Structure 1
């Protein structure tokens, strides 16, 4: 498929991934429509048509999908913990609702942004897309698995094609979990990494992720699932030391994983007592201590996926963004 002049609907267009996807889609010559849940201003200057409403509202979903060639579904709840009911409402029911609306509207291609977290926290080295899925009794992991199961049966090419992208740890300008939140914690001298920073952050620079999505659309890889990372093996320790150095901050300390979880649990209880929003949840430690790399061989073979922006350049771009952004306003 030639994506130039095609109309793409991006759900969650006001969020980190959706916003950058919209910018790069416009550069590629696409017409962009966005769906967002409220009137946030950061998407208003894109030159895209913006629809405000809920993913779970069928009339809104139907309106958003009319006259669209491609849907890129990025909207989701991405917290590390919370109410399973709330996660299901958006991540599963909302996903199914927008996918069915797209199919009914005659949309050709539906791309669902999933996550490598569908494999859980303890998975084999170089796990592939056919590897075992594990919900880990975690609402994010569980509902990303359920969402995939909801939409894959809708795949009926050439009329309606579904593609699933299991993204790694997406970083870059605007990334809350991997840039903004850890830096804010470091500035308060409250950040530590677990177990000497062993294990691997499967980072993917935001533009590399969007490139992979566009490749999957162009190659019409319907019914396929792809792990997408930068394909580099960077330890958690190396990543967080680099992040601190970028800000001129002291090297973070390491704590045993169980101690970190206990500290964050007590801190969270204190914040609840004073009716403060939790800045870091205890479950985040599980997300920041995963052990192995995920295989991206399938994307390399079927999509000819080659990350254009390496880790050095990605961090340099992020540093330039940090120097001109008041990140505390993003939380």
Structure 2
């Protein structure tokens, strides 16, 4: 009987990481290790917690002994009310320095593959109309978070070329699913409360990815030989305007979206007045992702449709936070 392979998931209790360990723990060929901050966290049966060392470096070898594959989900993400005097430095500490430390420790522990969750925002905040981002586009990160993720990609890629580690980079757009927070959760709150939203006239296009679809792709990338040393883009392969998303999300919540058709230039002016230009771009700008190369290379397709995924997201929200 062959030995199980050890796979380490960082951010094992986070939004993506927790869903991933639940998916992987049922695989009979894997022993799942979850990097967590405390040993008393609630993990699925069969998942082994791995703690960081005292100096916050990911101590892979001390707890895991041997690691075959690492899936790096942990990161310092967008901070809406940033208080750091030097945000880029803070993002680099976690997203670049600790990522590189983890990759080095993984190599020392015998890892042969490192799957790194990056962000589609390394390409910029907005894509051109009808011109979705592709993996070969020149990166143009527009904020400290995106820049730190791009720098991490580059440094781990350099390490991989030196050591033979197989690097798989997955650039991820907005992820939604049960337990989602941030702007997506705010949209559900607005829709449930019946708040009129001035977004009914938008004809933009944005790519998203359901949590189930992202986890499925990561699972495929653990074994697929063609994924090695690739940069992959992912999405649900169905782009939506903000108004269409709100309408379909409202339907999943059992509500009617109260959308007002306000000229986009008025929305932009209001956003500038209140210093919300970034929020405006996230709502009304185009951000399309061409995931066709990923699908063709790996023989992969999103297993869950948008409406099914929205239904799961809405059901969880109503149970946990709804009226």
Please give the alpha-carbon distance, in whole angstroms, between the structure 2 residues aligned to 1:191 and 1:15.
Answer: 32
Q: Which residue of 2 aligns with 1:143?
A: 148
The change in CA–CA distance for 1:290 and 1:67 in structure 2 (over 3 A counts) is farther
The change in CA–CA distance for 1:182 and 1:103 in structure 2 (over 3 A counts) is same
Q: Which residue of 2 aligns with 1:130?
A: 136
Q: Which residue of 2 aligns with 1:230?
A: 236
> What residue ranges of structure 2 are gaps of 5+ in the alignment?
none
Please give the alpha-carbon distance, in whole angstroms, between the structure 1 residues aligned to 2:198 and 2:165.
Answer: 44
Choose the corresponding residue for 2:159, options 150, 154, 163: 154
Name the SS of the counterpart of 2:284 in structure 1.
Answer: coil
Name the SS of the counterpart of 1:291 in structure 2.
Answer: coil
Please give the alpha-carbon distance, in whole angstroms, between the structure 1 residues aligned to 2:74 and 2:108.
Answer: 20
Please give the alpha-carbon distance, in whole angstroms, between the structure 1 residues aligned to 2:136 and 2:233.
Answer: 10
The change in CA–CA distance for 1:258 and 1:245 in structure 2 (over 3 A counts) is farther
Residue 91 (1) aligns with residue 91 (2)? no
> What's the TM-score, normalizing by structure 1?
0.82
Q: Which residue of 1 aligns with 2:5?
A: 6
CA contact (8 A) 1:108 1:158 kept: no
Please give the alpha-carbon distance, in whole angstroms, between the structure 2 residues aligned to 1:191 and 1:226.
Answer: 38
The change in CA–CA distance for 1:78 and 1:185 in structure 2 (over 3 A counts) is farther
> What residue ranges of structure 1 are gaps of 5+ in the alignment?
266-280
Choose the corresponding residue for 2:291, options 279, 293, 296: 296
Please give the alpha-carbon distance, in whole angstroms, between the structure 2 residues aligned to 1:282 and 1:188.
Answer: 25
Residue 256 (1) aligns with residue 267 (2)? yes
Residues 1-331 of structure 1: pairs in structure 2 closer than 5 A: 5-29=4-28, 30-38=30-38, 41=41, 43-53=42-52, 57-58=56-57, 60-63=59-62, 66-79=65-78, 82=82, 83-124=87-128, 125-136=131-142, 138-156=143-161, 159-177=164-182, 179-186=184-191, 192=197, 196-220=201-225, 221-247=227-253, 248=255, 250-253=257-260, 256-263=267-274, 265=275, 283-326=278-321
> What's the TM-score, normalizing by structure 2?
0.84
240-249 or 19-28: bigger deviation:
240-249
Residue by residue over 1:248-280, the C-alpha shift from the partner in whole angstroms, topping out at 9 and shown as x without a partner, is: 2642455613413543x4xxxxxxxxxxxxxxx
CA contact (8 A) 1:182 1:191 kept: no
Query: Aligned residue pairs: how many?
Result: 308
Please give the alpha-carbon distance, in whole angstroms, between the structure 1 residues aligned to 2:273 and 2:170.
Answer: 34
The change in CA–CA distance for 1:126 and 1:69 in structure 2 (over 3 A counts) is same
Name the SS of the counterpart of 1:110 in structure 2.
Answer: strand
Residue by residue over 1:94-135, the C-alpha shift from the partner in whole angstroms, topping out at 9 and shown as x without a partner, is: 211111111121111100001111111233413210102112
Residue by residue over 1:36-65, the C-alpha shift from the partner in whole angstroms, topping out at 9 and shown as x without a partner, is: 235684x43443111233797336244355
The change in CA–CA distance for 1:237 and 1:74 in structure 2 (over 3 A counts) is same
Residue by residue over 1:159-218, the C-alpha shift from the partner in whole angstroms, topping out at 9 and shown as x without a partner, is: 421100011221111121353232235556778466943322211111111111122221
Please give the alpha-carbon distance, in whole angstroms, between the structure 2 residues aligned to 1:126 and 1:63.
Answer: 43
Please give the alpha-carbon distance, in whole angstroms, between the structure 2 residues aligned to 1:109 and 1:23.
Answer: 20
CA displacement at 1:282 relative to structure 2: 5.8
